[in-house]
Amino acid sequence: MNHPILNFSIPRTKGTYILVLSLTERQTIAVGKLGSLTFPPGNYLYVGSAFGAGGLAARLRHHLKPSKLHWHIDYLRAVAQLEAIWFSEDGQRSECQWSTILYNLPPLSCLQRGFGSSDCNCVAHLYYCATEEGLAVVNQTLQQMGMNGVGRLGISSPD
């Protein structure tokens, strides 16, 4: 598999990450206990954290090549393209903080309430961005927050 993101060496440190996924067509899929959900075409940002063994490297390897459907995101990942990954290595559990930041970014909206947020009080950990222009704004914000980006970010990404 020659995925561009695989060429990047992801650290084994613990941290928080955002997956940028894209759908070219509307998809209706069953997402675990959430049941049947419809996803319009566009970009999706999912916030997660990796605090298990192997840290970010192990978790992101799972998202690159999901072997079984475990988390809500795995169901969407199975039908979507993984375009980019943002991550921080600060060792802080900041996924809910990041989720709140995304929730408040004007280009983003929450279409699937409860997605990825079964264990916290967030509206969701998945946000939708309809346009490439909106995604560029989001990318710029994440870069300004000091996050590392890899993949197709629509901005110059650090190598």
Residues that bind Zn ion (CB under 5 A): 96, 99, 117, 120, 122
Helix residue ranges per DSSP H, 8-154: 55-64, 72-77, 95-103, 132-144
Helix residue ranges per DSSP H, 1-159: 55-64, 72-77, 95-103, 132-144
Shortest approach of Zn ion to residue 99 CB, angstroms? 5
Q: Which is nearer to Zn ion, 14 or 154 (CB)?
A: 14
Among 140, 33, 47, residue whose Cα is nearest residue 85: 47
Q: Which is nearer to Zn ion, 46 or 75 (CB)?
A: 46
Shortest approach of Zn ion to residue 132 CB, angstroms? 27
Q: Which is nearer to Zn ion, 30 or 120 (CB)?
A: 120
Distance CA 71, CA 76 (A): 10
Rg (CA), the chain: 14
Shortest approach of Zn ion to residue 118 CB, angstroms? 9
Residues 6+ apart with CB under 8 A from 53: none
Q: Which is nearer to Zn ion, 99 or 148 (CB)?
A: 99
Shortest approach of Zn ion to residue 9 CB, angstroms? 28
Query: What sign does the CA torsion over 111, 79, 4, 56 have?
Result: positive
Distance CA 5, CA 64 (A): 8
Q: Which is nearer to Zn ion, 99 or 139 (CB)?
A: 99
Shortest approach of Zn ion to residue 95 CB, angstroms? 6
